[in-house]
């Protein structure tokens, strides 16, 4: 099963490392040995929930770069199923401007706005993007690992169901 592609657009390298660590943990040697023994005893594994939760996380450090990556992914036939977008990314586009451009090139891409601070109120964002599908979501920094993982699982599953329907 292919991994679900997620794009993180944030100017902080440490945030990108956090997303990688949380959503793409390195398999432990212990788990690999156990999986090999299980495959030997019972045959190759069928699709399991763990396989469905595998993510591929790409990084963009500015809004323009993020929009370019979304365009490129669409053109290659391997689009992103979710984007996490920071509100503040000096010196380039802020999250609001980036979101406007993302909606032009990929209107159905779910976007989660992430930041400790915002130059826009949530009401203002909703007013500007409320009619959009899919709905806009917010994740406040600092976030907890399990919150990020649950949100990524839920939104990528929803995106998969919408693309099948």
- Which CATH number characterizes residue 138's domain? 3.40.50.2300
**Tens digit of each residue's pLDDT (9 = 90 or more) over 28-49:** 544 556 666 666 777 665 544 4
**Least reliable range by pLDDT among 13-17, 53-57, 108-112, 133-137:** 133-137
How many folded domains does the chain comprise?
1
Quick check: is 31 in a domain?
no
Residue 135 has pLDDT above 70, yes or no: no
Quick check: is 125 in a domain?
yes
Quick check: is 36 in a domain?
no
**C-alpha to C-alpha distances, 147 to 19, 141, 152, 153, nearest whole angstrom:** 12, 11, 9, 10
Residue bearing the bigger pLDDT, 60 or 108: 60
Mean pLDDT over each residue of the chain, to the nearest integer:
82
pLDDT of residue 164: 35
**Tens digit of each residue's pLDDT (9 = 90 or more) over 2-21:** 789 999 999 999 999 999 99
What is the extent of the structural domain holding 104? 4-24+54-164
| Ramachandran assignment for 154, one of left (phi > 0), alpha (psi -120 to 50 degrees), beta (any other) | alpha
Q: How confident is the model over 138-145, as a mean pLDDT?
A: 89
């Amino acid at each position: 099963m292919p991994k679900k592609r997620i794009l993180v657009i944030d100017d902080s390298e440490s945030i990108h490392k956090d997303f990688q660590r949380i959503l793409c943990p390195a398999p432990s040697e212990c788990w690999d040995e156990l999986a090999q023994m299980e495959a030997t005893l019972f045959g190759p594994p069928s699709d399991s929930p763990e396989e469905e939760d595998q993510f591929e996380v790409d990084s963009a450090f500015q809004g323009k770069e993020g929009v370019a990556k979304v365009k490129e992914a669409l053109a290659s036939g391997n689009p992103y199923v979710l984007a996490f977008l920071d509100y503040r990314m000096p010196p380039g586009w802020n999250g609001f401007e980036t979101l406007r451009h993302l909606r032009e090139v990929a209107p159905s891409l779910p976007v989660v706005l992430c930041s400790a601070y915002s130059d826009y109120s949530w009401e203002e964002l909703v007013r500007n993007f409320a009619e959009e599908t899919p709905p806009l979501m917010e994740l406040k920094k600092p976030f907890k690992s399990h919150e990020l993982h649950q949100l990524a699982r839920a939104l990528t599953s929803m995106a998969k169901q919408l693309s099948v329907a």
